[in-house]
Chain A
Amino acid sequence: MKRLLPYLAVAFFASVPLWLQDQYFLHTLVVSGIFMLAAMSLNLLLGYTGQLSLGHVAFFGIGAYVSALTSLGFSISIFGYQITHEPWPAVVGVILGTIVAGLCGYLIGKLAFRVRGAYFVIVTISFAEVVRLVALNWVELTNGPLALPGIPPLTIGFEWTGYATLWGKAQNYYVVLAAIVLAYVIIKRLVYSPYGRAMIALRENETLAMSVGVSVTKYLVLAAIVAGAMAGTAGGLYAHYIQIIDPMVFMFLNTVTMVIMVITGGKGTLAGPIVGGLIFGIAPVVLRSYVGPELQWILYGLLMILIVFVLPDGIVPAIERWFGRTSESAGDRRSLTLETSKASQS
């Protein structure tokens, strides 16, 4: 059953646009999915290596701006040299956005992982703030607070298949769904490999991990690169779906949303950010008709506090424990430990 769950979930979500009439709700799901993707990437850092990045939105925003500018084109002058870039297809933009965000992950990883804990958190916040100020003030490139409008939607296809431009919500929904599935597979394979074990070892006990030969910098930087790149993809998808971005994408609130998704869902679990992303992506729409936005934020705060107090590990580990108790095997094994398959026991 547990093995089938991911496939069932994908099948269910793939069927949603077929029966869901409410286009606004579908739009909510697309945006939730994009933030879910970003939350999944944050989970790789926060959940598996144990490093809290409070500047995660920077990677998201960099992905969005790089992707938007690649597909819009720009003309700037640096030190008297005129640099002009002709518009490229949106797909190339998303790929470039992913790469550039991954590179930023590498740089930030190299710099910030010289420190840990609170200092790392501060470095990441500062990084996000610097990037926001650049986006706000480099008006020639980013249009500053006037925003970058008219970003083209994604176009997929090859010369021999013909091209399809994704104007509709359902089409974008499937693109986001595919991205989430891909990210899930990447994270899962990474986590259940020696790479993931090294990251978890660093989270659990850095000194001991070093003594068995785990290189701290190598694995923390690797996690930062993958997390940065994935958040960059999310940003790129966001830019081409919403079709307008401004420096507000760098809002601290966006990072907080991602962190809340990860923590309430269950950090360090594969399904955690997905469950958290669904709850905090859909809740605003469901609550909208009953309570005002200000009250909503208060409710989220209360919900967050409640979850942290009642289910400190998050929702997914709690459900797993509950099912583990009622079925038989899992016992009191906590989510922190990876699955222990005894396939090779001879």
Chain B
Amino acid sequence: MNAVTTHREPILAIEHVAVHFGGLIAISDMNFEVGEGELVSLIGPNGAGKTTAFHVITGFLKPTKGRVMFRGTSLNGLKPHEVTSLGLVRTFQRTSVFDKISVFENVLIGLHRRTAASLFGTLLSLPKERHAEAELREKAWEILKLVGIDHQADELGGSLPYGDQRLLGVALGLAADPSALLLDEPVSGMNATETARFVNLLNKLRERGKTILLVEHDMPMVMGVSDRIVVLNYGRIIANGTPTEIQNDPEVIQAYLGQGVKHA
């Protein structure tokens, strides 16, 4: 059951990470790996430390102890944009898109990491820079089509329906050309149709070999898409295994449903 290592080559390794906020222990000791091309879900009750884990992995928070390794590089002390430049990109739970900017330009901003324009070339409007800009626009359309919101390219990010906003959030993440994508509750608040669309997108991404780490509350979806599930409770990992293993794990059932009737 507690198969902490994976069969695949690990791309992301969280090594004994602990996060303390003063006296509060948000994460006590977290240790797991994500393999290349794998889809791993991080689940747990509210307040279990899932989002904190995301913050640590992507450089928004410094771990109190331990370290995060990505493709053999330690991420400790790196700034968020430096983590992104290594190819590890996240989406956000709430503020996932630029509200007042059109969908198309949202993705163009997301493409920032693939921009090669030099400052002087830009100011002189050299052919190389204009060519690069045209390529970026091409790329943005590709991503919008992949995610399935290309027909809304001219809308403002904030005016999209909720489900589409989450898709745009993923498009922004994808634009940054990640080898590993971290999705923070991407389907929360989505209806069944929207969730189905999202699962469809996840499958497309997996076909392209993207490694995905997912934080999610929607259990049917998590059970359906994950290769492996890591369960967090009170800042520590209580289970790590395939969806079937997790569903039958007594500690997980207790964490989610309480002690059960035998004490009643």
Residues of A within 8 A of B (CB): 186, 189-190, 193-195, 197-198, 200-201, 204-205, 207-216, 222, 331, 333-334, 336-338, 340-346
Does A211 lie within 8 Å of B133, measured CB to CB? Answer: no
> Which residues from A are CB-within-8-Å of B104?
340, 342
Given contacts A189-B123, A346-B138, A346-B141, 5 further A-B contacts (CB under 8 A): A194-B136, A204-B98, A208-B172, A210-B80, A337-B100
* Total count of chain B residues near the partner, CB < 8 A: 47
B201 to chain A, nearest CB (A): 18
Q: For A212, give its contact among B79, B89, B101, B105 (CB under 8 Å).
A: B89
> Which residues from B are CB-within-8-Å of A216?
81
Does A340 lie within 8 Å of B123, measured CB to CB? Answer: no
Does B109 lie within 8 Å of A195, measured CB to CB? Answer: no
Q: For B176, give its contact among A198, A212, A222, A337 (CB under 8 Å).
A: A212
Does A198 lie within 8 Å of B102, measured CB to CB? Answer: no
Would you give the 0/1 interface string for B83-108, flagging 1 where the beta carbon is closer than 8 Å to chain A? Answer: 01100011110011111111011001
A193, B119: Cα distance in complex, Å: 9
Does A210 lie within 8 Å of B134, measured CB to CB? Answer: no
Chain B residue at minimal CB-CB distance from A196: B122
Does B112 lie within 8 Å of A198, measured CB to CB? Answer: yes
Within 8 A of A (CB), among B59-81: 60, 79-81
Interface check B154, CB cutoff 8 A: yes
Q: For A337, give its contact among B81, B90, B102 (CB under 8 Å).
A: B102
Does A197 lie within 8 Å of B84, measured CB to CB? Answer: no
Does A197 lie within 8 Å of B122, measured CB to CB? Answer: no
Chain B residue at minimal CB-CB distance from A222: B119
> Which residues from B are CB-within-8-Å of A189?
122-123, 125
Q: For B92, give its contact among A186, A208, A331, A343 (CB under 8 Å).
A: A208
Does A209 lie within 8 Å of B109, measured CB to CB? Answer: yes
> Which residues from A are CB-within-8-Å of B134?
343-344
Does A212 lie within 8 Å of B100, measured CB to CB? Answer: no
> Which residues from A are CB-within-8-Å of B60?
207, 210
Q: For B101, give its contact among A194, A222, A337, A343 (CB under 8 Å).
A: A337
> Which residues from B are CB-within-8-Å of A207?
60, 80, 92, 95
8 contacts between A and B (CB under 8 A): A189-B123, A201-B101, A204-B98, A204-B99, A207-B95, A208-B92, A333-B156, A336-B100
> Which residues from A are CB-within-8-Å of B141?
344-346
B85 to chain A, nearest CB (A): 5
Does A211 lie within 8 Å of B112, measured CB to CB? Answer: no
Interface check B173, CB cutoff 8 A: yes
Does B156 lie within 8 Å of A334, measured CB to CB? Answer: yes
With contacts A194-B112, A204-B99, A333-B156 taken as known, whether A211 is within 8 angstroms of B84 at the C-beta atoms is: yes
> Which residues from B are CB-within-8-Å of A344?
134, 137-138, 141
A333, B172: Cα distance in complex, Å: 21
Chain B residue at minimal CB-CB distance from A216: B81
> Which residues from B are CB-within-8-Å of A338?
101-102, 105
Chain B residue at minimal CB-CB distance from A201: B109
Interface check B149, CB cutoff 8 A: no
> Which residues from A are CB-within-8-Å of B51?
none
Q: For A197, give its contact among B109, B123, B129, B156 (CB under 8 Å).
A: B109
Among all A-B residue pairs, the 6 with the closest Cβ atoms: A213-B84, A194-B115, A213-B113, A210-B80, A344-B137, A193-B122
Does B85 lie within 8 Å of A213, measured CB to CB? Answer: yes
A37, B68: Cα distance in complex, Å: 48
Interface check B25, CB cutoff 8 A: no
A175, B80: Cα distance in complex, Å: 45
A201, B176: Cα distance in complex, Å: 14
With contacts A193-B122, A193-B129, A340-B154 taken as known, whether A208 is within 8 angstroms of B96 at the C-beta atoms is: yes
Does B123 lie within 8 Å of A211, measured CB to CB? Answer: no
Interface check B153, CB cutoff 8 A: yes
With contacts A193-B122, A337-B102, A340-B105 taken as known, whether A210 is within 8 angstroms of B154 at the C-beta atoms is: no
With contacts A205-B98, A214-B81, A216-B81 taken as known, whether A340 is within 8 angstroms of B89 at the C-beta atoms is: no
Interface check B41, CB cutoff 8 A: no
A205 to chain B, nearest CB (A): 6
A346, B172: Cα distance in complex, Å: 21
B174 to chain A, nearest CB (A): 10
B206 to chain A, nearest CB (A): 22
A287, B97: Cα distance in complex, Å: 47
A222, B89: Cα distance in complex, Å: 25
B68 to chain A, nearest CB (A): 16
Does A212 lie within 8 Å of B154, measured CB to CB? Answer: no
Does B105 lie within 8 Å of A197, measured CB to CB? Answer: yes
> Which residues from B are CB-within-8-Å of A342?
104, 153
A172, B98: Cα distance in complex, Å: 43
Would you give the 0/1 interface string for B124-161, flagging 1 where the beta carbon is closer than 8 Å to chain A? Answer: 01000100011011100100000000000110100000
Would you give the 0/1 interface string for B168-194, flagging 1 where the beta carbon is closer than 8 Å to chain A? Answer: 000011011000000000000000000
Does B95 lie within 8 Å of A190, measured CB to CB? Answer: no
Does B95 lie within 8 Å of A212, measured CB to CB? Answer: no
A337, B107: Cα distance in complex, Å: 13
Does A201 lie within 8 Å of B98, measured CB to CB? Answer: yes
Interface check B117, CB cutoff 8 A: yes
Interface check B58, CB cutoff 8 A: yes
> Which residues from A are CB-within-8-Å of B99?
204-205
A233, B117: Cα distance in complex, Å: 26
Does A194 lie within 8 Å of B117, measured CB to CB? Answer: yes
Q: For B109, give its contact among A198, A215, A331, A336 (CB under 8 Å).
A: A198
